[in-house]
């Protein structure tokens, strides 16, 4: 079944200029780890023990060695997780929080250090992209819950002082799409399956990896939010992108994998979709080297083209 594309909307959440502020879009928690006792596995366990839902924890060095025959850091993992409790609260306030469901983190030890680091989004970074207030009580509590686990998993660790120059993005921070789905009731499931099969095939064909999938609508329904026919989220990455960018910016894992979400509210004929653009990477963590810029922009162009084609 083909779904009719009715429009593609690029919503700009651009800043009004270079921001000279202490607020940073990501945060990096680090600890000395000479004995090697702290690992990606031990950090994952700490989050799982605290009730977080782990959707992935991938050893990227193995993936890099397999595809590129080399890697950049002593250790490098991308982990994705979320708290269903906080996610449900924040999604109910603003469906754009799905852009961070799950949260992405990079866990790494650089070649020239013995410290272990975890990078993740800050409340300010999530607020800038989603439009949720940075002082929203549930967002603050969520970030505090993440911080508490990091402190337990990495005793004596602390957040690094980072001073990225937060630049005005050169493009939209969030790319949005909207398409028509006239089916209602039980017919929606078949229409959605047809569309997602086509989308997944198209993304895989141009080299994207579908690293995870969350049926957010099911979790929302369990807490009484039944407004959606479906609300799904894909974790999507491209190995060549994170390989190139992580060489100089291992902390870029706070943005990778990216989440593409799609939902349809009951009684409507519109499917709304969105994903965070690579301009978040470029503007938030001083990604200025040409190889990284080129691979990011190329990946975004292919992603947008593939999504548009899937909607025709």
Q: Is the pLDDT of residue 5 over 50?
A: no
pLDDT tens digits for 112-153? 999 999 999 999 999 999 999 999 999 999 999 999 999 999
In residues, how long is the chain? 312
The 3-class SS string of 162-182 reads CCCCECCCCCCCEEEEEEECC
Per the DSSP assignment, residues forming a β-bridge with 76 are 108
pLDDT on residue 307: 95
Q: Is the pLDDT of residue 106 over 60?
A: yes
Q: What is the mean pLDDT of the chain?
A: 91
Domain segments of the chain: what residues? Answer: 5-310
Q: What is the homologous superfamily of the domain 5-310 according to CATH?
A: TT1751-like domain (3.30.310.70)
The pLDDT-based confidence of 170 (bands split at 50, 70, 90) is confident
pLDDT on residue 220: 96
Q: Which of 29-38, 67-76, 180-189 has the lowest mean pLDDT?
A: 180-189
Of 99, 162, 157, residue with least CA distance to 128: 99
Percent of all residues in the chain with a pLDDT value above 90, rounded to a whole number: 85
pLDDT tens digits for 213-226? 999 999 999 999 99
Distance CA 247, CA 68 (A): 13
Helix, strand, coil shares, percent, the chain, to 5: 40, 30, 30
If you average pLDDT over residues 275-280, what whole number do you get? 92
Strand pairing report for 26-32 and 115-121: antiparallel
Widest distance between CA atoms in the chain: 59
Return the half-sphere exposure (C-beta side, CA atoms, 13 A cut-off) of residue 97.
24
Q: Is the pLDDT of residue 312 over 80?
A: yes
């Amino acid at each position: 079944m083909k779904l009719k594309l009715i429009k593609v909307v690029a919503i700009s959440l651009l800043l009004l200029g270079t921001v000279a502020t202490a607020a940073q879009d990501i945060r990096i928690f680090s600890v000395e780890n000479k004995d090697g006792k702290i690992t990606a596995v031990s950090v994952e366990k700490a989050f799982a023990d605290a009730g977080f839902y782990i959707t992935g924890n991938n050893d990227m060095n193995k993936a890099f060695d397999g595809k590129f025959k080399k890697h950049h850091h002593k250790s490098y993992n991308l982990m994705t997780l979320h708290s269903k409790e906080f996610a449900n609260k924040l999604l109910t306030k603003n469906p754009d929080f799905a852009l961070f469901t799950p949260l992405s983190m990079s866990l790494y030890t650089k070649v020239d250090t013995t410290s272990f680091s975890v990078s993740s989004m800050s409340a300010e970074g999530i607020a800038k992209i989603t439009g949720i207030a940075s002082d929203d009580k549930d967002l603050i509590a969520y970030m505090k819950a993440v911080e508490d686990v990091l402190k337990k998993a990495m005793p004596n660790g602390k957040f690094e002082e980072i001073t990225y120059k937060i630049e005005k993005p050169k493009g939209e921070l969030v790319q949005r799409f909207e398409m028509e789905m006239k089916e209602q009731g039980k017919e929606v499931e078949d229409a959605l399956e047809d569309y997602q099969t086509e989308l997944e095939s198209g993304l895989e064909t141009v080299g994207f990896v579908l690293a995870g999938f969350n049926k957010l609508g099911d979790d929302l329904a369990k807490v009484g939010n039944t407004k959606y026919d479906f609300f799904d989220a894909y974790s999507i990455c491209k190995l060549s992108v994170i390989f190139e960018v992580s060489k100089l910016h291992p902390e870029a894992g706070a943005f990778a994998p990216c989440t593409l979400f799609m939902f349809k509210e009951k009684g409507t004929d519109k499917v709304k979709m969105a994903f965070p653009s690579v301009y978040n990477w470029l503007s938030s963590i001083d990604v200025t080297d040409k190889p990284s810029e080129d691979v990011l922009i190329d990946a975004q162009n292919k992603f947008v083209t593939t999504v548009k084609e899937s909607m025709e």
